[in-house]
């Protein structure tokens, strides 16, 4: 037999493998192309706002935007401006009006959890228009920096207490003599 032929069973498995490969490639292409255009599960109408941050550590496109703990939108784009600040584009539900003196902060859902944007509403009677930008933002807190600050405060307090204890000890020795 000079020509290689596949048995019926081998041909069947080859066809199944090719179909599965085609399905996997199509699914991967769908998710790769669909990821760039974030869709909202509820299919509602949204308007966009901008928020500018010095650092956004751990916040990703697709992460949630919350107001009073309720989900009101998503981060749909992130880019750098000319001064190397992160400019985030947020999709906000159309039925939610944000006062123009509100602030946007990057916070964590837990100590090691994912990040999201929390909007703290202001008291103004004027609202941010579609395409508007938050005037007040607070950057993401980096856990390592926070721990360094806590350790630094602890060391400073220990040194202060040590200095305060030394004179009291020497006074006690003088009283005994």
- Per residue in 14-36, pLDDT (tens digit) is 888 888 888 888 777 766 665 44
By the 8 A CB rule, do 133 and 50 touch? yes
The reported pLDDT for the residue numbered 27 is: 74
Number of H helices, E strands in the chain: 2, 7
- State the DSSP code for 156: H
Closest CA to 133 of 170, 88, 79: 88
Structure tokens at 164: 């305060």
In this structure, the dihedral spanned by the alpha carbons of residues 62, 65, 71 and 77, taken in order and rounded to 10 degrees, is -30
Least confident of 1-15, 76-90, 112-126: 1-15
Statement: the pTM of the whole predicted model exceeds 0.75: no
* 71 C-beta neighbours (distance < 10 Å), count: 13
DSSP characters over 9-27: HHHHHHHHHHHHHHHHHHH
Average pLDDT over residues 115-122: 94
Asked if the model's pLDDT at residue 95 lies above 70, the reply is yes
More confident of the two residues 113 and 48: 48
By the 8 A CB rule, do 51 and 104 touch? yes
More confident of the two residues 167 and 70: 70
Quote the CA–CA distance of 147 and 145 in Å, as a whole number: 5
């Amino acid at each position: 037999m000079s020509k290689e032929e596949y048995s019926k069973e081998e041909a069947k498995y080859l066809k199944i493998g090719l179909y599965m490969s085609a399905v996997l490639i199509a699914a991967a292409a769908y998710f790769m192309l669909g990821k760039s255009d974030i869709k909202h599960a509820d299919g509602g109408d949204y308007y966009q706002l901008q928020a500018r941050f010095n650092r956004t550590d751990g916040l990703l496109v697709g992460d949630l935007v919350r107001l009073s703990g309720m989900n009101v939108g998503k981060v749909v784009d992130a880019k750098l401006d000319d001064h190397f600040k992160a400019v985030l584009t947020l999709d906000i539900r159309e039925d939610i009006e944000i006062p123009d003196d509100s602030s946007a902060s990057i916070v964590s859902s837990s100590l090691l959890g994912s990040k999201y944007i929390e909007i703290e509403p202001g008291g103004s009677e004027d609202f941010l228009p579609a395409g508007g930008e938050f005037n007040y933002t607070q950057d993401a807190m980096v856990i390592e920096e926070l721990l360094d600050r806590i350790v630094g405060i602890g060391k400073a307090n220990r040194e202060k207490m040590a200095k305060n204890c030394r004179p009291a000890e020497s006074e006690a020795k003088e009283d005994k003599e």
